[in-house]
Chains A and B, each alone.
Chain A
């Protein structure tokens, strides 16, 4: 085989008590799409940040085309031809596409920025890759898919030999994913190397030539695409057998109970002043899961906040119960306080709960017990009891948050992409939990008797997800949210392709 474009040998890196990378190795060759797989917290993003020079490794070495890369320098990595498309957008909204692309490049001399040259090169790139962009448009007004295109073009602009993409598909609809994969294939056909971080196995297997699997900071598998299958990869990722995460047959169905929330012609203004949600009507009943699909940035955040009573709608009326659990999308700035420890983060939801206080004082012993139950019940891996949320990996933060929100016994649960970031076992566990929650606890329901509402009547559940399979799998009623409008999905369109069509069809509205 030819010499590798990128070779990482025995890379290690600690964050305080956490060993993010222990012995991670990776070899990616020119002309291949190389998938980097692993559970959350396995060290995928950390490894790629080492490659890009954003993190200095504690040990090990990085070679690009047989030349050793000095550790911890983004310039050296960029000069060696490494480009990265980050999981979260790194664009400045008030600048135009071309200005964003020009950031960090050396276009122009002295004080003058040669934007015309940027425009010219962008036009050329657009032609070569088939990625359409309006170079003069401010980024703020672009759709999420278009922003993703800009991120990719920004990376391609420097003509990288190696392009790293960190979970690029989460913000894309099914058709856009196909299109992105087409672009990646054409890139590697030109002799480049694409490193693709992903978590959806079937998606990754469609495009990858080779895969590397990380588990707890170590490389546990490196193989060609033909040599592996989804169950084998899943096994490698979590280190043991799993039940297949297939469609849970009994998820859908069941009697819906009394209404717990109602939105009438609700409109919500987003932070940028535009209407993020328009004329939404929705009723949610106990014991049902309402699934809302759609790509990110179509008003999910605003609608979820209104449904959960965290935000007042700009127009229309929202009638919501008092106890609403919310699993917000923006988990880094959302549900948890990074500097708080486990008990304190639990207290965010329980500090005024009668079982967790004595008069005006917080009963920290009770709070710790509840936190312990969440940690145990959801298999949150914590380095120690006083661990702050900041010291947990993304997936474990997510488990802590989900566990806390489910523990509140809400009347309504609003969840935005609750499975995202969870490993396979945890996702399966949460899926079962949601179904169980929706059905209510039968023994408790019996005690309640006829007429009176049982103490633990099942909540209504609203599930926002960019993963259409997840929505189709779990939801009793299915909608798509497109540019702030909620569109019911008719029975005959209840499949990913049909929902994708609905999402695209209304895109221009």
Chain B
């Protein structure tokens, strides 16, 4: 009965995903608390440390949580857009690294350029590089029918190892001590917002999320993307939609968003390229996008949530001694809970009347 009552109230497109997310969070929190208690930690203290670590002060929230959330928003948008079009781009991590490489290269190669030229140039290069990084999966998908799930994952490894080679070789810092590049020119860095470490990449990501949401909802292009993703066959049969073109466009744009995430991370946080620059943002992005129900605006919330988790992890480790791996486990629990909640709430609603 409860389920039926829930279903009856879930007619709106907004309440459904939000309710699923809330139920999932609650379930994951309970599971995590139980796990922590079993492992001998104090769940309440751990939770308090997590919350204060992420929200303790505006300074901390902006400098840690929002800064962590920024690349997750951009890669989350990348994944959400691709999935909306029915493109299973699992390669946001690799595309992010491609973007980071391009941004660093631009930031190092033109030290004398003015900021108004260098910064947008570096960001554009990052986006283009992310888009280019999808070309191999795109080509294989269209020419040979190879599924993009595998090819985009493989391209992640190519990107990660290419970066390792670059920072040990051609792009290594002039001193040659650490496997990293020199810092990029000041003119290639994103301006800070306020006194903390929050940078202009965050509002850019928020604006892009809003723009993508709006385009998907109101533009003919966005409609085509949604149609192809919802039913490629119906889209093709309508005779008005070139599914191949739509898929291609969404794939490239997805790569560009992920590439931009890499560029923003370099220009706003690291200022240099090194190995493990991304702690798996491109993979967490998949969870972000799914938790958000592939809705770009909800991606902001989902990315914020994972930002909170990651920012709180450090505090939990410091104050209560909970290993940070627990946070990864909690993240995984959230994903599982979301998938389960989603199925639970959706089952039956989709039942069709026949006869």
Show the binding face of A for B, using Cβ within 8 Å. Answer: 15-18, 20, 38, 40-49, 55, 197, 214, 305, 308-310, 324-326, 328, 330, 333-340, 344, 347-352, 357, 360-362, 364, 386, 390-391, 393-394
Report the minimal beta-carbon distance from A497 to chain B, rounded to whole angstroms.
32
Q: Can you list 14 A-B pairs with a CB-CB distance of less than 8 A?
A: A15-B351, A16-B8, A40-B355, A48-B355, A55-B351, A333-B234, A336-B234, A337-B227, A339-B230, A348-B227, A348-B234, A350-B240, A390-B350, A393-B355
Do B234 and A38 touch across chains, with their CB atoms under 8 A apart?
Answer: no
Decide: A16 near B221, CB < 8 A? Known: A43-B353, A333-B231, A394-B354: no
> Which of B223, B239, B349, B350 is in CB contact (< 8 Å) with A324?
B239
Using CB atoms, name the residue of chain B closest to A392.
Answer: B353
Among residues of A, the one whose C-beta sits closest to the C-beta of B352 is A390
Evaluate whether A310 and B219 lie within 8 angstroms (CB atoms) in the complex, with A45-B355, A46-B355, A337-B234 already known: no
Residue of A nearest to B8 (CB): A16
Q: How far is the CA of A432 from the CA of B226 in the complex (A)?
A: 35
A residues near B354, Cβ cutoff 8 Å: 20, 44-46, 49, 393-394
- Measured in the bound complex, the distance between the Cα atoms of B224 and A394 in whole Å is 25
| Total residues of chain B contacting the partner, CB 8 A | 29
Chain B residue numbers with a CB within 8 Å of A357 are: 220
Q: Which residues of A contact B238 (CB under 8 A)?
A: 335, 348-349
Contacts of B220 in A (CB 8 A): 351-352, 357, 360-362
Q: Mark B193-209, 1 if CB is under 8 A from A, else 0.
A: 00000000000000000
Q: Are B218 and A362 in contact (CB under 8 A)?
A: yes
Q: Which residues of B contact A (CB under 8 A)?
A: 7-8, 11, 218-221, 223-224, 226-227, 230-231, 233-241, 349-355
Instruction: Give the CA-CA distance A197 to B223 in the complex, in Å.
Output: 39
Cβ contacts under 8 Å, A394 to chain B: 354-355
Task: Establish whether residues B237 and A328, one from each chain, have CB atoms under 8 Å apart when the complex forms.
Answer: yes
| Nearest CB in chain A: distance from B335 CB, A | 22
A416 to B223, CA, bound (A): 26
Q: Which of B239, B351, B353 contacts A41 (CB 8 A)?
A: B353
- The interface residues of chain A lying within 8 Å CB-to-CB of B353 are 15, 18, 20, 41, 43, 46, 391, 393
Cβ–Cβ contact A214 & B355, under 8 A: yes
Q: B240–A352 contact, CB under 8 A?
A: yes
Q: In whole angstroms, how far apart are the Cα atoms of A174 and B242 in the complex?
A: 39
Known contacts A15-B353, A46-B353, A361-B219: A333-B233 contact under CB 8 Å: yes
Q: Report yes or no: B219 in contact with A309, Cβ–Cβ below 8 A.
A: no
On chain B, the residues within 8 Å of A393 by CB distance are 353-355
Write out the residue numbers on chain B whose beta carbons fall within 8 Å of the beta carbon of A334.
233-234, 237
Contacts of A42 in B (CB 8 A): 355
Give A360 to B221 CA distance when docked, in angstroms: 8
